[in-house]
Chain A
Amino acid sequence: MNKSLIRDLNAKNVNGGPAGSFLSQHSEAILKQAESMLRHSKADIAKMSTEDIQKLLFEFQVQQIELKMQNEELNRAHLELTASRDNYALLYDLSPVGYLTLNETGIIQKANIAASTLLGHTKQELINKRFGEFVHPSDQDNYYLFLRSLLTLNTGQTFNTGINDSSRSPTQSKCQYFKLCTNSPQSQDKNGISTYVECYARVVCNDKNSLQICLAINNINECKQAQDTIARLNEQLEETIRKQTNQLIASNLSLMKKVEELRRSRHQLVEREAKLNSIFNASVEGIITVNTSDIIVSANAAVETIFGYKPQELVGYNISKLMRSSPKETNHCCLPSTFESVGQIREIEGIHKNGSIVPLDLSIAEFSIDNAHYFTNIVRDVSLRKYREQQDKEHLDELAHVTRLGLMGEMASGIAHEVNQPLSAISSYAQASLNLINAENPDLAKLIEILHKTQQQALRAGQIIHRMREFVKSHSKHRSTADVNCLIHEAVSLCTDELKQNGIKLIFELKNNLPPIYVDHVQIEQVIINLIRNSIEALQNLPAKQQRQLTIHSRLTLNDGIQIRVKDNGPGIDEEQRQKILTPFYTTKTNGMGMGLSISRSLVEAHEGTLNFDSEPGKGATFYFTLPTRNQPNGR
């Protein structure tokens, strides 16, 4: 019974199927125990009482039931295990993650479908291949280190934890990236496309007590690509950021500079305002600001000294209170005239508080604040200047007169000769007339002719003397209109003898119908005479063989002035003389005062003209002066 039970049990155990290997070991032990018990109790059974035997049988029965129950349980467990194992196998194979089992030397023991797909070989092909073969050459070192660290670090732990409980000890599961050659290096047909993988490894001890490496491989190509893209984008981003940072730094710098400039200009503004304020208050010139209706808005302290009014007495009044010829017409009635008057200095007459007239220089500046226009009238009391100008003019007139007298002294001999000519002629004509009358048959017609000629010569002598007297008169205070060519002829008439004596050929190049000029005749003649005599002097230095030539030229200039040029073909003016020639007391003559040109220039300038010269050394010199034609009696 016992034996059959055990056989049963054995049979059952043997029928345990695929899951029975563990179970069969266990039941084998029980069987052995039961057989030994049977062997030991063989003798005893005979000795036993029925009771005992029954008791034992009962026990056996109980035990049998228990065993049945255990067996059922085992069967169930076996089924569950089988199902789980199938599930695992399915899961293992179908997992998207590649699984590989390597032995200690890195040889592939097992692989799932995903792994074979990744590596590009069938499962069968992969078995017993080195995993290292698939690792990209560039990653071989990493792979080696990875493997080594995996095994060395793991050894201690593995041994300590024991085989059973290998799951409890978390073996090394370092994550490592590799680049794989997804085909074996030997197979040439599959081109070396690399796949980036991520490996999770775990070292376990198998039942044979040898180490196994479980490798989970994840294709991270996309991830890697994404990472690369991200890295690239990152770099680009960084680059962009760097650039923008640089730009920002640059703009920051320029901003800082601008801020600094602004600070400086603000400082300058403050400084300028302070300066302007001090100028406004300390100015000798009166500064009066008016609005467009000519009402005084502000005035500075200087106004009091000029007009006698305190600044506060003026604010609110019309500016016409201060100025006879109100700047009204130029101030604001129409824009163009405003522009004309702005910036120009005009001479006007101001009215002092005590009613007296103050000559003023007026300049007007325009400014506007918030669309309101204002005019700043700056007035300067020029009484002193006027007085000085008058004095200067008188001095100049006197000086001109004195130099004219001197000039006449120098010219006296020539003029006397000039007078002697008609006088001599008169004398001869008279004697001839007498002789005619004393003749037997006086030729009356001839006599009349001679007397007529005599009269002409007398007039001519008178004219020369008249001109000379005019020339030395103290001064003809009044200016009058004159024809410039007439003035030239009169001036020349006082020099003819000198020209003749020096063998100078005189050429006139006079423009006809020139507009009249408003001048002091004598002074302008004096200028012309000075220039002619200078030329004569210069021509005396010319070698005797050379033709001495003097040209007097008159013309209208572009801006309606009249220009008179006195040109000679003398030696010209050298550089040294050029600098000094117009200054007083400079002379190249042995008995000259050096005043001629200096006075001439002053006289021309007193007529608001200009005097200047050109010279080409060796070829001659041209002195010329220009007089305005606008200076009419009713003009300025």
Chain B
Amino acid sequence: MGVNKPTPIVYLVDDEFSIRDSLTLLIESTGQAVRSFESAEAFLNNYDPEQPGCLLLDVRMPLMTGHELQNELSKRDINIPIIFISGHADIADSAKAFRAGAVDFLEKPFDNAVLLERINEAIEKDLSFREEFTKKNLIQERINHLTAREKEVLSLIVKSHSNKESAKILNISNRTVDVHRASIMEKMQAENIAELITMVMYCETPSSRSKAEIFR
């Protein structure tokens, strides 16, 4: 989005001081930036969704637990990758975490190399996600600029209907379809039909947006 991308930050939420302290030192020693919080609430109050990074999250904490924080972030449409760290190798806990989209679930004490690797992976994931997200937003923006009739024509093109078929369905002349099509190609900045279809498909897939949403 911006010209100079902010450096990713590893967020760390654990109520245990020794864990926060030791992990901060460890991660900092690899050159990553770290911000640690002793509670989920403190994290929520300080987190900037625009800031790329990942979250190391303890499962058991007083007041808001790791799972609860995960749900809260999802509710707020925040997609920061989460790596759970827990003192208990509880299958139920880990299943829950993965179902909700966690990157990994590590049991304390963990292999530091694995942790650091997962952190890197998570950051990568976040960065690429953010990139895709930006792209999609761009395409969506273009779609939003189409007229209602153009959107109808586009949806028929994506469904591989020919000009003739489209004219029939929409009960308009072939010629009119041609005019709309040219306008769509121009507004979507597509070189050809293949590229146009790829754009629309790309906008559909990664997130769970349906066509209805796209052509709102």
**Interface class of chain A by DSSP:** helix
Give B115 Cβ to nearest chain A Cβ, in Å: 8
Question: Does B16 lie at the interface of the complex (its beta carbon under 8 Å from any beta carbon of A)?
Answer: yes
CB distance from B56 to the nearest CB of A (A): 11
A413 adjacent to B15 (CB under 8 Å) = no
In whole angstroms, how far apart are the Cα atoms of A425 and B85 in the complex? Answer: 12
A428 contact from B26, B61, B62, B65, Cβ within 8 A: B26
B residues 47-94 near A (Cβ < 8 Å) are: 60-63, 65, 85, 87-88
Give the CA-CA distance A439 to B25 in the complex, in Å: 14
Are A503 and B62 touching (Cβ within 8 A)?
A: yes
Contact B29 A423 (CB under 8 A): no
> Bound complex: CA of A608 vs CA of B15, how far in Å?
41
**Residue A537 lies at the interface, judged by CB distance under 8 Å to chain B:** no
Q: Would you call B6 an interface residue if the criterion is a C-beta within 8 Å of the partner chain's C-beta atoms? A: no
Contact of A453 among B21, B110, B112, B113 (CB under 8 A): B21
A321 near B: Cβ within 8 Å? Answer: no
CB proximity to B under 8 Å, residues A393-430: 413, 416-418, 420-429
Known: A425-B19, A425-B21. A439 touches B29 (CB 8 A): yes
Q: Tell me which residues across on chain A come within 8 A of B22, comparing CB atoms.
A: 424-429, 432, 453, 457
Question: What CA separation (Å) do A450 and B23 show in the bound complex?
Answer: 11
Known: A421-B18, A421-B19, A500-B60. A427 touches B109 (CB 8 A): yes
Q: Are B108 and A420 in contact (CB under 8 A)?
A: yes
Q: B25 contacts which chain A residues (CB < 8 A)?
A: 428-429, 432, 446, 450
Cross-chain contact A423 with B109 (CB below 8 angstroms): yes
- Residue A357 CB within 8 A of the other chain: no
Q: Which of B18, B26, B60, B88 contacts A431 (CB 8 A)?
A: B26
- Chain A contact-residue range equals 20 to 34
Cα distance A217–B49 in the bound complex, in angstroms: 149
Task: Give the A-B pair count, Cβ closer than 8 A.
Answer: 78
Interface size class of B (residues with CB under 8 A): 20 to 34
Which residues of A lie under 8 Å from residue B15 when comparing CB positions?
Answer: 500
- 8 A Cβ contacts from B10-33 to A: 15-16, 18-19, 21-23, 25-26, 28-30
Asked whether A128 is an interface residue with its Cβ less than 8 Å from the other chain, the reply is: no
Q: Report if A435-B29 is in contact (Cβ < 8 Å); known contacts: A417-B87, A420-B109.
A: yes
- Check B62 against A500 for contact (C-beta < 8 Å): yes
The docked-state distance in angstroms from the alpha carbon of A350 to that of B214 is 102
Task: Contact check, B87 vs A497: say whether CB atoms are below 8 A apart.
Answer: yes
Q: Which of B15, B21, B85, B108 is the most central at the interface, judged by chain A CB atoms within 10 Å of its CB?
A: B108
Instruction: Name the CB-closest residue of B to A417.
Output: B87
User: Within A579-625, which residues are at the interface with B (CB < 8 Å)?
Assistant: none
Greatest chain A CB density within 10 A among B22, B28, B85 is at B22
Tell me the complex Cα distance, A416–B30, Å.
29
Contact residue among B21, B28, B60, B109 (Cβ-Cβ distance under 8 Å from A501)? B60
Interface residues of A (CB under 8 A from B): 413, 416-418, 420-429, 431-432, 435-436, 439, 446, 450, 453, 457, 460, 497, 500-501, 503-505
Chain B interface residues (CB < 8 Å from chain A)? 15-16, 18-19, 21-23, 25-26, 28-30, 60-63, 65, 85, 87-88, 108-110, 112-113
A-B contacts, 8 listed (Cβ < 8 Å): A417-B60, A421-B16, A421-B18, A421-B19, A425-B19, A425-B22, A426-B22, A501-B60
